[in-house]
A = this chain, B = another copy of it.
Amino acid sequence: MIVLKLGGSVITHKDRAETLDGESLEQAADSIAQTLGNEKDALKGGLVLVHGGGSFGHHNASKHGVSTTAGTNDAGAVLEIHGAMKTLNQFVLTRLLERGVQAVPVHPFSTACRDGDGALELPTSQVESMLAEGFVPVLHGDVIAQTGRGATVVSGDELVVELAQALEADRIGLCSTVPGVLDEEDAVIDRISNYEAVESVLGASETTDVTGGMAGKVNGLLELEVAASIFGLDGLASFLEGKNPGTTIE
């Protein structure tokens, strides 16, 4: 079973509000559809997709002052952020369906929540049922209800870590705008097995942007029992075929 995240910055133009990067999304959808068509063995355990918010989620969340820790009790604000993410999700689903991928939506707001300490609760029986029936569930960064804070943001990266653990994923991939985690000379770091080794490049782990920064991604992935890969769009097909492009975190 593979959990694959398509970065929000990959599939949207992050500097313009609610603007799809159609070309990149189609390249990603092509890679996924081709692998599902040609390499059935590589994906026989199923594929779960997660996409980030990019200029759909971040723009609307920041407009309402909502983050992973700052919430809102205004249903109108919730619907605006959630609605923007559903619009982006629909773009992703459509591109996949057009290519014969049996993609179906799983909206985190409808199923997940956080307790007062921020711990994420994400039911996954529905995702397992979808996988067993041959569907490709597509989740996304979203708002979710949090005890004491109304609704806060859940990032795609957080969902990837949670899904990988709950579903005991065999492989985890993060498709990013960069070809991997880069060192001081912008060369791809081949392998990361502890955070201290990359702290000088990525910065202290406590200061990470939990909804998108590379430090947050690396920290989250280091917690997992299986290896994860961070790679660019050009590495996606290779990852889906079973190779390890970009940076391997283990």
Contacts and interface: CB of A to CB of B under 8 A. Distances in A.
3 interchain residue pairs of minimum CB distance: A111-B111, A110-B110, A129-B145
Contacts of A108: 110
Most chain B C-beta atoms within 10 Å of own C-beta, residue among A105, A110, A134: A110
What secondary structure prevails in chain A residues at the interface with B?
mixed
Interface in A198-217: none
A31 interface: no
A110 B132 CA distance: 15
Nearest to A139: B110
Given A150-B133, A151-B133, A126 B110 contact: yes
A109 B113 contact: no
B82 A134 contact: no
A75 B111 contact: no
Contact of A110 (B97, B105, B114): B105
Given A79-B97, A113-B125, 8 more contacts: A75-B104, A75-B135, A104-B109, A110-B111, A111-B126, A129-B146, A132-B147, A135-B145
Interface residues of A, number: 43
Interface in A8-59: none
A118 to B, nearest CB: 12
A144 interface: yes
Interface string A81-112: 01000000000010001000111111111111
A107 B109 CA distance: 9
26 contacts: A73-B133, A75-B103, A75-B136, A76-B97, A79-B93, A79-B97, A79-B105, A82-B105, A104-B109, A104-B151, A105-B110, A106-B109, A107-B110, A110-B110, A110-B111, A111-B111, A113-B129, A114-B129, A121-B126, A129-B145, A129-B147, A133-B145, A133-B146, A133-B148, A133-B149, A135-B145
Nearest to A86: B86
Contacts of A107: 107, 110
Given A110-B105, A133-B150, A126 B145 contact: yes
